[in-house]
Each structure stands twice: as structure tokens, then as C-alpha cells.
């Protein structure tokens, strides 16, 4: 086993991996950006090193700097988590050249699965059913028309070859929509992956997203840990995941399990991986393989009892998998809700900010994987997912009741999260009936009912007076982090300490049901007539003109931030009297997007 592992990630997944290392008796090395100096993963690791400034390109994606830290710290292996460098074949190769173990599959498997057309070709050759369509890139719209007319038919999905997770995915319902879909997918492929190549698939009208967890070692053992259903997603962001999948019985599980292990074996896979697929009318089609541990691995852990992260580390150290396929038993039902700093009532707009009071749910069958605590700052620079709430119970119905109980216990103040959204979803008949809830989560009127209440009261000031206190400081010496304690009088200026006293009612959580609509909390301050930007980013679209009459919830602009398109909607009805933004321009958090004045007296 390794004696020291570097975790090339941040947030909840870095903490998750630190926990696994601790249990395996492995010393840990954290890395962090300037924005993450006070992050939990940094405090928790045995050693921590600064990578650089906030932008991921200068920190968590900086391969050269990470290799420097590996050599400085003497780490023997690197766990990449998910995102950042997890599926970067060049990184896996660079580690190999440095004599460092990459805790994940061989670079060749990452590469093979990274190109979606190559993956489809390989899977087809291995006897894995793929969604009917092309395995070769389609060069022109005329070529596409010909192939669709002769084989696929409409509706057709146009997907970017470099894509994945829904990026660069367009649908053409009929031939007259093909040009837009083709060009849109190519444009997005170019923008996100530097590759405008596209391919075609038959568009399945109402599939479920079902994915199979696989694990493989370097001794030829490949097993599957059953499936997860991740159909509840918005704009290709998964929001809720569960295991087992409601639509999969034992017979189908054995069938898709075999498909998944065949797929993994075909690329000589090792470690933890996921075969993503579509299930429609009992038929299963391979979509893509994610060559990493996934956000939603936890629900599989809960129903199998297997620690997927520890198993991945063991396999990377050359050990055999500790379980065989026949030993595996599924027990009960697990559900995961992603707790994102987002406002569902505002089209899931990012809602970065600082957490006030923070308390996680506990009790039977409850697990929280998080990377935050009281006083944590959620920056718009990184992923808005701050925690995952996972529950287990004997069946789906009881797991749902337990999820509702746990969501009610979650206390987070001063930060808007998806907790009210999950409370609402879990209480619907659609969820109870195991439907995909696709229409519901696009239903603006329904989402608007999840609006947050305006903050109540002003915070009380609690002044510390001259008593000597013990204060912990962190110093960086040559980029390595050390914790020091200083005992003496507090600073008059009062450096912010964790957990400034919360005031008034919690913004979310408690036992409170989701609030009804009532304006309030317009995201990013402003208030009144001003619609302020909740995020920093680039203006992609402006959907209204100055002087326009808008309804509350009308689309005003689309802001691109962190490669995500965020819709900014009107916080109230009225006339757009100011519109100080233009396409291509940039906005900072809190900048005015628009000023909307009401003709008649407003209700507020
Ligand atoms: C599809 C599809 C229909 N037909 N491909 C791709 C990425 C993943 N986020 C969902 N993706 C889809 N690919 C073809 N050929 C429909 C989806 C899809 C989806 C599938 C199952 C459950 C929910 C979904 C939500 C959006 C898109």
C-alpha cells in the first residue's frame, strides 16, 4: 500500500478521498488555490501546498505545479477525484513519466473513452449495444442528411465527439431543424473541447439515464456494483440519483451488468468507472464511459456496502479487488440529493455567498459528504455543489421519507441552496411513482414557488472585549502550509472568525416547508428595481430591449460562467428602464443587469 497520496482536487470529493486514505493508514497531501486557503480539505490533510491563484487553469489544472508538489512532498500516488484532471490522459501520462501512480485507469483507457466516436466504435466491436447512429464523425450537413434519410431517421441527436455529459448535444426533430442542431453541436464542441467534430444518434424520446458502476483490478478481475438511476437532471446537471434503479429488475441488472463489464474489459480498465447508458422499453444502450469516480458513487456504496474510493486506491497499489461478483448483494435503497448553491426559483441561477450557521442532518441511515462548514465561502469560481445528502433505507418509499426528514434537519443560513427544491421534489406524486420528473423541473411556475424568503432582521453585533484568546493562524512558508497558534489579545479589527452569529430565521432548512413566492432575495444584493448579477461572467445573450415590458420570471439575459450558461430572469414585472449590458461584455457579481420599474404600485 502507498504511504503518502496527493489529492489533486478540492471540496467534498477531496474530503471524501482524505477519509479513505485515513482509514487505509495513508498520509495525505492536499493542494489548494489562493481562494481555498481556509477550505476543509486543506485543514484536514497532513500536509498542504499552495498551487496558485484562484482560476483553475493556474491551480487545480496546473499539471507542472502539481508535479512539483508531488516531488516536494514525496507522494507516491495521486488521486484526481472527479472534474479537473480526472479524465486528462496527458496528466496520467505525465505522472507515469514522473514515476508516480495515477489512481485511476491507464491513460490509454481515458483516451479511448474520451473520444465519443472512438468509444462507440470500440464498444460496437466488443458487442456492447450502442445507441443506433454513426461511429464515424459526420463532416457536413449534407452528409448528415443523407445518413439520416438512409438509416437513422428523425428525430436525431447531434453530439460533439469531444463531448460528454450532454455538452455539445442538440436535437433535430425534423430536417428543417438539422442545420441549427448540427452547427450548434459543432460550435459547442469547438468551444468546450477544441473539437468541432460531431456524430449522430437516433434520438430516444423518453429514456431513463441508467449507469452501471464497474471496478476492475490489474489481475483481470472486472465486476459491476449494480446500477444507478440519474434521470432527474436539468441542463444535463444531475440533481438526484438513486440506487437501485426503479426500472431495473434482477434479470435486467444481470444483462446491463454484463454489458458494463464487457465495456470496461474492452479498454483494459482498472479502478472505478461508470458505464452511462439509456434505458428505453427494457432496452439498454451504451452512451459513454466516465473513467473516474463519480459524484453519485455514494448511493452505490450505501446499497452494496463497498467503499468504492478505498477499493480504487487498493487496486492502484496493485492489490486484487477485495470482492468477487458472486459475493455482491444489494440491500435496500439509497437516494442522493445534490446540495448546490443555486436558486431553483430563479432558473437554478448560481447563488455564491458565505455560509452563516451550518449544521448537517444526522441520525439513522443518513450520510453527508460535504466540503463546507460554518463561515465557508462558496466562490463563483468553482462548482456550486457544496454537499451531498445521501440516505439509505429498506425500500424506496422509506428512503424518500428519510430524505425528507434529513432535508428538514439541514440548517444552512445566509446561503441559498437546492434544499427547498429537493424538499418539493421528494414530496411529489411523480417522484413517488418513479417518473423522471422532466416536465416538472422545467415548470417555471412550479419552480417559482420555491422562492426564498427575504432575510429577516439585521444581524446582532457581538463584540469580543480584550480577553486573551487563543487564535489559530495559517502561514505559508515557501508555498507549504503550516498551522500556528497565537495566544494573546484579539485584534481590534476583528478578523472574521468562522460562524458569525446567525440572525433571525434560517433562510433554508429547519423544519420549514419551502416558502411560497414573495419576491425577496434578488441574488447578489441590489433589491428594489435593480436586477443584479448573481455571478461573474460574460454576457452571451440579451433577450430584451430597453423599454420593454416584462413579466416576472421573463428571460432577461444569459451569462456564461465556468462554461455554464446561466439564465437571468426578471425578479419582478415592469418596464426595463435601464439595461447596462451588451453581448460579449463582462459582468461582475452584483453588477446591474437591468433596472425594472413598475408602472403601477408594486405589491412589495
Ligand atoms: C440522449 C437522449 C436521447 N437520445 N441521447 C446525454 C447526456 C445525459 N446528460 C443525457 N443525455 C441524453 N442523451 C439520445 N440519443 C436523452 C438524453 C437526456 C436524458 C436521458 C435520460 C434521462 C434524462 C435526460 C435528460 C436530458 C437528456
Reported as a single tens digit per residue, the pLDDT across 280-327 is 999 999 999 999 999 999 999 999 999 999 999 999 999 999 999 999
- 442 backbone dihedrals φ, ψ, rounded to 5°: -105, 0
Distance CA 600, CA 582 (A): 28
Ligand 1, atom 11, residue with closest C-alpha: 166
C-alpha cell at 514: 419551502
Please compute the mean of the pLDDT values over residues 543-568 and round it to a whole number.
86
Nearest ligand 1 atom to the CA of 203 is: 4
Please compute the mean of the pLDDT values over residues 395-411 and round it to a whole number.
98
**Ligand 1 center to residue 277 CA distance, Å?**
9
Residue 155, preceding peptide bond in cis (omega within 30° of 0)? yes
Distance CA 150, CA 321 (A): 46
CB 132 within 8 A of CB 147: no
Substitution candidate for ligand 1 out of 131, 151, 189, 207 with most atoms within 8 A of CB: 207
- 209 backbone dihedrals φ, ψ, rounded to 5°: -85, 110
Task: Please state, rounded to an integer, the average pLDDT across all residues of the chain.
Answer: 90
Nearest to 312 by CA among 325, 302, 321: 321
Distance of CA 564 to the CA centre of its chain: 12
**Ligand 1 center to residue 435 CA distance, Å?**
15
Sheet of 156-164: strands edge to edge? 167-172, 156-164, 198-202
Name the band, by pLDDT with cuts 50, 70 and 90, for residue 453. Answer: confident
Secondary structure, 3-state, 289-348: EECCCCCCHHHHHHHHCCCHHHHHHHHHCCCCCCCCHHHCCCCCEEEEEEEECEEHHHCC
CB 28 within 8 A of CB 318: no
pLDDT on residue 493: 45
Substitution candidate for ligand 1 out of 120, 153, 166, 208 with most atoms within 8 A of CB: 166
Please compute the mean of the pLDDT values over residues 347-373 and round it to a whole number.
97
327-364 burial, b for 16+ CB within 10 Å, e for fewer? eeebebbbbbbbbbbbbbbbbbbbbbbebbbbebbeee
pLDDT on residue 599: 62
User: Taking 70 as the threshold, does the pLDDT of residue 586 lie above it?
Assistant: yes
Within 10 A of 51 (CB to CB), how many other CB atoms are there?
22
Cβ–ligand 1 contact at 201 (below 6 Å): yes
Within 10 A of 188 (CB to CB), how many other CB atoms are there?
22
CB 372 within 8 A of CB 386: yes
Distance CA 7, CA 24 (A): 14
Q: Any bridge partners for residue 269, and if so which?
A: none
Cβ–ligand 1 contact at 233 (below 6 Å): yes
CA-CA-CA-CA torsion sign (297, 299, 304, 307)? positive
- Kindly state the greatest CA–CA separation across the chain: 82
Cβ–ligand 1 contact at 211 (below 6 Å): no
Cβ–ligand 1 contact at 231 (below 6 Å): yes
Ligand 1, atom 20, residue with closest C-alpha: 209
CB 79 within 8 A of CB 22: no
Please compute the mean of the pLDDT values over residues 28-57 and round it to a whole number.
97
User: Taking 70 as the threshold, does the pLDDT of residue 491 lie above it?
Assistant: no
pTM, entire model? 0.82
Enumerate the H helices of 359-486 as residue ranges.
Answer: 396-409, 419-426, 429-432, 444-448
Better-scored residue on pLDDT, 273 or 499: 273
Which residues, in sequence order, are CB contacts of 329 under 8 Å at separation 6+? 304
User: Taking 50 as the threshold, does the pLDDT of residue 143 lie above it?
Assistant: yes
CB 529 within 8 A of CB 597: yes
Please compute the mean of the pLDDT values over residues 42-55 and round it to a whole number.
97
Nearest ligand 1 atom to the CA of 164 is: 7
Cβ–ligand 1 contact at 276 (below 6 Å): no
C-alpha cell at 114: 474520451
- 594 backbone dihedrals φ, ψ, rounded to 5°: -160, 160
pLDDT digits (tens, 9 = 90+) for 192-218: 899 999 999 999 999 999 999 999 999
Distance CA 5, CA 76 (A): 6
Name the band, by pLDDT with cuts 50, 70 and 90, for residue 507. Answer: very low
How big is the chain by its Cα radius of gyration, in Å? 25
Cβ–ligand 1 contact at 155 (below 6 Å): no
- 45 backbone dihedrals φ, ψ, rounded to 5°: -75, 160
- 303 backbone dihedrals φ, ψ, rounded to 5°: -95, -15
Distance CA 420, CA 407 (A): 8
Residue 536, preceding peptide bond in cis (omega within 30° of 0)? no
Cβ–ligand 1 contact at 131 (below 6 Å): yes
**Ligand 1 center to residue 111 CA distance, Å?**
23
SS3 66: helix
Amino acid at each position: 500500500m502507498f504511504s503518502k497520496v496527493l489529492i489533486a482536487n478540492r471540496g467534498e470529493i477531496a474530503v471524501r478521498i482524505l477519509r479513505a486514505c485515513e482509514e487505509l493508514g495513508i498520509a495525505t497531501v492536499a493542494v489548494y488555490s489562493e481562494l481555498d486557503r481556509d477550505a476543509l480539505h486543506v485543514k484536514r490533510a497532513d500536509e498542504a501546498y499552495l498551487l496558485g491563484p484562484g482560476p483553475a487553469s493556474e491551480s487545480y489544472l496546473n499539471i507542472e505545479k502539481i508535479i512539483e508538489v508531488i516531488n516536494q512532498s514525496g507522494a507516491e500516488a495521486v488521486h484526481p477525484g472527479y472534474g479537473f484532471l480526472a479524465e486528462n490522459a496527458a496528466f496520467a501520462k505525465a505522472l507515469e513519466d514522473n514515476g508516480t501512480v495515477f489512481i485511476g485507469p491507464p491513460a490509454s483507457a481515458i483516451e479511448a473513452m474520451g473520444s465519443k466516436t472512438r468509444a462507440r466504435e470500440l464498444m460496437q466491436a466488443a458487442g456492447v449495444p450502442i445507441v443506433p447512429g454513426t461511429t464515424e464523425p459526420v463532416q457536413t450537413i449534407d452528409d448528415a442528411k443523407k445518413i439520416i434519410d438512409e438509416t437513422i431517421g428523425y428525430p436525431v441527436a447531434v453530439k460533439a465527439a469531444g463531448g460528454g455529459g450532454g455538452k455539445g448535444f442538440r436535437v433535430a426533430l425534423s430536417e428543417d431543424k438539422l442545420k441549427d442542431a448540427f452547427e450548434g453541436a459543432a460550435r459547442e464542441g469547438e468551444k468546450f473541447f477544441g473539437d468541432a467534430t460531431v456524430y449522430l444518434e437516433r434520438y430516444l424520446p423518453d429514456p431513463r439515464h441508467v449507469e452501471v458502476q464497474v471496478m476492475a483490478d490489474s489481475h483481470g478481475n472486472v465486476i459491476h456494483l449494480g446500477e444507478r438511476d440519474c434521470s432527474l437532471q436539468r441542463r444535463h446537471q444531475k440533481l438526484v440519483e438513486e440506487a437501485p434503479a426503479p426500472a431495473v429488475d434482477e434479470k435486467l441488472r444481470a444483462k446491463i451488468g454484463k454489458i458494463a463489464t464487457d465495456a470496461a474489459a474492452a479498454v483494459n480498465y482498472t479502478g472505478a468507472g461508470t458505464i452511462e447508458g439509456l434505458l428505453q422499453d427494457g432496452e439498454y444502450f451504451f452512451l459513454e464511459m466516465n473513467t473516474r469516480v463519480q459524484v453519485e458513487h455514494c448511493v452505490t456504496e450505501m446499497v452494496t456496502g463497498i467503499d468504492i474510493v478505498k477499493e480504487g486506491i487498493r487496486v492502484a497499489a496493485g492489490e486484487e479487488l477485495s470482492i468477487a461478483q458472486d459475493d455482491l448483494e444489494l440491500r435496500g435503497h439509497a437516494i442522493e440529493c445534490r446540495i448546490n448553491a443555486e436558486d431553483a426559483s430563479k432558473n437554478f441561477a448560481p447563488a455564491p455567498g458565505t455560509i452563516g450557521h451550518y449544521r448537517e442532518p444526522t441520525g439513522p441511515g443518513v450520510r453527508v459528504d460535504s466540503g463546507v462548514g460554518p463561515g465557508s465561502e462558496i466562490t463563483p469560481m468553482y462548482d456550486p455543489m457544496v454537499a451531498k445528502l445521501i440516505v439509505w433505507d429498506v425500500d424506496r418509499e422509506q428512503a424518500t421519507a428519510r430524505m425528507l426528514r434529513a432535508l428538514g434537519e439541514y440548517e444552512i443560513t445566509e446561503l441559498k441552496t437546492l434544499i427547498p427544491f429537493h424538499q418539493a421534489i421528494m414530496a411529489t406524486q411523480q417522484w413517488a411513482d418513479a417518473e423522471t420528473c422532466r416536465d416538472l423541473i422545467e415548470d417555471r411556475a412550479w419552480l417559482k414557488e420555491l422562492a426564498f424568503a427575504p432575510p429577516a432582521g439585521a444581524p446582532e453585533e457581538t463584540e469580543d472585549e480584550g480577553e486573551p484568546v487563543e487564535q489559530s493562524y495559517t502561514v505559508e512558508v515557501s508555498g507549504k502550509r503550516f498551522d500556528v497558534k497565537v495566544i494573546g489579545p484579539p485584534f481590534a479589527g476583528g478578523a472574521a472568525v468562522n460562524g458569525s452569529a446567525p440572525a433571525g430565521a434560517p433562510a433554508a432548512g429547519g423544519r420549514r416547508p419551502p416558502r411560497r413566492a414573495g419576491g425577496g432575495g434578488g441574488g447578489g444584493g441590489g433589491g428594489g428595481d435593480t436586477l443584479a448579477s448573481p455571478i461573474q461572467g460574460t454576457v452571451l445573450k440579451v433577450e430584451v430591449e430597453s423599454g420593454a415590458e416584462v413579466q416576472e420570471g421573463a428571460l432577461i439575459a444569459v451569462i456564461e460562467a465556468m462554461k455554464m450558461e446561466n439564465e437571468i430572469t426578471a425578479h419582478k414585472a415592469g418596464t426595463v428602464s435601464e439595461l447596462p449590458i451588451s453581448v460579449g461584455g463582462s459582468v461582475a457579481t452584483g453588477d446591474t443587469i437591468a433596472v425594472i420599474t413598475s408602472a403601477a404600485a408594486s405589491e412589495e
